[in-house]
Amino acid sequence: EVHLVESGGGLVKPGGSLRLSCVASGFTFTSYSMNWFRQAPGKGLEWVSLIDSRSTYLYYADSVKGRFTISRDNAKNSLYLQMNSLRAEDTAFYYCARDSIAWSRDYWGQGTLVTVSS
Amino acid sequence: QSALTQPPSASGSPGQSVTISCTGTSSDVGNYDYVSWYQHHPGKAPKLMIYEVSKRPSGVPDRFSGSKSGNTASLTVSGLQAEDEAYYHCSSYAGSNNLIFGGGTKLTVL
C-alpha cells in the first residue's frame, strides 16, 4: 500500500526557514516524479513544486520561486522542501503527492502545517 | 481568488445525485482534457477520484463520474452516501507546466 508521510512543519517567524520532509513507502520511489502542494486556510489547493525521478528537472510556482528548493534522496525514499524567506502568506498545510498520468496526482500525504507568524 | 471557479458548497440527501461544477477558460479546462477531481476529508490525505475528465482510478466507486462541456467540468456523485461528505477540488492543466485548482466545494450529505 502506498504511503506518504510529511513532517517538519511548525511555527516560524517571517523571514525564517523550515525544511519539510516526505517519506514514501509501498512503491518504487525512483520511478516517479514527486510534488509539493499547499492549501492556505480557506483557500483552494495550490501546486508548489515538482521534481522528476532523477532530480534532473525542478519546477516551481512563481509564488515560491527563488525562496523554496525541492530535492529528493532516492536512497532514503524521501522528498524534501527547503523553505527560506518565509512570509505570512506561506502559511498553509503542505502536502507531498506522487505524479501520475494526465496531470493528475494519484497519492497524497496527510499534510504538515506551516504557520508563519511573529 | 482561485483560477478555477467552484461553488463553495453543495448538498444532497442520501441516495440522491449531486453535481459540482468547475469553470475555467478556453486556456485551461476548455483546451485540455486534463481535468482531475480530488476528494478531501479534513485531516486526511486527498484522494484522486477522477482524472482525464471522466476516468476513474481503480477502487473509486462508479457512483462518481466526470464530464466536461466547453470551459466547465463537472463531477457527479450518484446514490449519495454519508461517507461522501467531504471537500472536492478540481484541477486542470493550463499549459506551460502550469496546474491550476478550484477553490474547493464542501459537499454535505443531509
Per-residue pLDDT of chain A (118 residues; tens, 9 = 90+): 999 999 999 999 999 999 999 999 999 999 999 999 999 998 999 999 999 999 999 999 999 999 999 999 999 999 999 999 999 999 999 999 999 999 999 999 999 999 999 9
Q: Do B46 and A108 touch (CB under 8 A)?
A: yes
Q: What is the DSSP letter of B8?
A: S
User: What percent of chain B stands above pLDDT 90?
Assistant: 92
Count of A-B CB contacts under 8 Å: 65
Return mean pLDDT, chain B.
Answer: 95
Q: Which residues of A touch B100 (CB under 8 A)?
A: 47
Q: Do B43 and A110 touch (CB under 8 A)?
A: yes
Interface residue A94 vs chain B (CB under 8 A): no
C-beta of residue B51 within 8 angstroms of C-beta of residue B36: yes
Q: Which residues of B touch A33 (CB under 8 A)?
A: none
State how far residue B18 is from chain A, nearest Cα, in angstroms. 21
Instruction: Please write the tens of the pLDDT for every residue from B52-95.
Output: 999 999 999 999 999 999 999 999 999 999 999 999 999 999 99
Residue B48 exposure: Cα atoms within 13 Å on the Cβ side? 26
Which residue of B lies nearest to A59 if distances are taken between CA atoms? B97
Is a pLDDT exceeding 70 seen at residue B2?
Answer: no
Residue A68 exposure: Cα atoms within 13 Å on the Cβ side? 27
Q: In sequence order, what are the beta bridge partners of B15?
A: none
Handedness of CA B85, A114, A2, A53 (dihedral sign): positive
pLDDT at B97: 85
Q: Which residues of A touch B6 (CB under 8 A)?
A: 44
Is a pLDDT exceeding 90 seen at residue B34?
Answer: yes
CB-nearest partner of A104 from B48, B102, B103 = B48
Look at residues A5, A20, A4 and name the one whose alpha carbon lies nearest to residue A114.
A20
Q: Do A102 and B101 touch (CB under 8 A)?
A: no
Look at residues B13, B40, B25 and name the one whose alpha carbon lies nearest to residue B95.
B25
Instruction: Please write the tens of the pLDDT for every residue from B95-104.
Output: 988 899 999 9
Look at residues A55, A45, A40, A57 and name the one whose alpha carbon lies nearest to residue A105.
A45
Q: Residue B76, exposed/middle/buried by CB under 10 A (0-12, 13-18, 19+)?
A: middle
Q: Do A59 and B97 touch (CB under 8 A)?
A: yes
C-beta of residue B70 within 8 angstroms of C-beta of residue B53: no
C-beta of residue A3 within 8 angstroms of C-beta of residue A110: no
Interface residue A100 vs chain B (CB under 8 A): yes
Q: Do B36 and A104 touch (CB under 8 A)?
A: yes
DSSP labels, B40-73: E-TTS--EEEEBTTTB--TT--TTEEEEEETTEE
